[in-house]
Structure 1
Amino acid sequence: MQQLMKQAQKMQQQLEAAQAELAAAEVTGTAGGGLVSATVTGAGELLSLTIDPKAVDPDDVETLQDLVVAAIRDANRAVADLAAEKMGPVTGGMGGLGGGLGGLGLPGL
């Protein structure tokens, strides 16, 4: 039982370290071949949005709006990929800890 507690504490420390690393990360998503780019934090906060002047057509604002949304979605997808990369090694062997402790192989859980 003591070994199990040590293992759980080690996992908790690894999880906290991965979460801190993820929170400090910045990722960029793009759309329109790089005409629009969005940079977000690992927590999904939008930090910056860059629009190439070539993407600005006063007669076609809708396309620009779509490019902005696509760039932000691409950045958020990159955050999700990064989270899976950082958290996967820590949570992978836990059988989906969010659903309980069943992945620890404890009887009755």
Structure 2
Amino acid sequence: MQQLLQQAQKMQQDLAQAQEELAQTEVDGQAGGGLVTATVTGAGELRALKIDPKAVDPEAASIEETAETLADLVVAAVQAANENAQTLQQQKLGPLAQGLGGGGIPGLPF
């Protein structure tokens, strides 16, 4: 029984370490062929947003259309970054969750 408790404590420590690593790791998502790039942590926190000046073409459309296009690109880039963060979470936390019995762990995304 003691050995089982030690294994559970080790897995819990490994899980906490993996979650900390995720919070420190940054991943990107892009939209519009790289015109907008969003950077999020592995935990999904938005850290940076970059908009290439080429995304704003004052001669191409009205201000309203340009703003709408930029908003769509920002949303798409953030969604792509979050998808990359979820993939990273599964890579880091998946093996640990399986070792602890699967998806029954509160706070894990699967």
TM-score (norm 2): 0.81
After superposition, what is the alpha-carbon deviation per residue over 1:34-71, rounded to whole angstroms, capped at 9, x for unaligned? Answer: 01001112232222111111111452221111001000
SS of the residue aligned with 2:50? Answer: strand
Aligned mates of 2:86, 2:7 — CA distance in 1: 26
- Aligned partner of 2:12 in structure 1 is 12
Over aligned residue pairs, what C-alpha RMSD do you find? Answer: 1.5
Is 1:78 equivalent to 2:78 in the alignment? no
After superposition, what is the alpha-carbon deviation per residue over 1:11-46, rounded to whole angstroms, capped at 9, x for unaligned? Answer: 111101111110111111100110100111223222
- Aligned partner of 1:62 in structure 2 is 68
Structure 2 gap segments, 5+ residues each: none
- Aligned partner of 2:97 in structure 1 is 91
- Aligned partner of 2:28 in structure 1 is 28
Aligned mates of 1:37, 1:51 — CA distance in 2: 7
- Aligned partner of 2:48 in structure 1 is 48
- Aligned partner of 1:106 in structure 2 is none
How many pairs does the alignment contain? 99
Whether the 8 Å contact between 2:30 and 2:81 is mirrored in structure 1 is yes
Q: Which runs of 4+ in 1 moved over 4 A?
A: none
TM-score (norm 1): 0.82
Identity %: 63
Structure 1 gap segments, 5+ residues each: 100-109
Structure with bigger RCO (C-alpha 8 Å, 6+ apart): 2
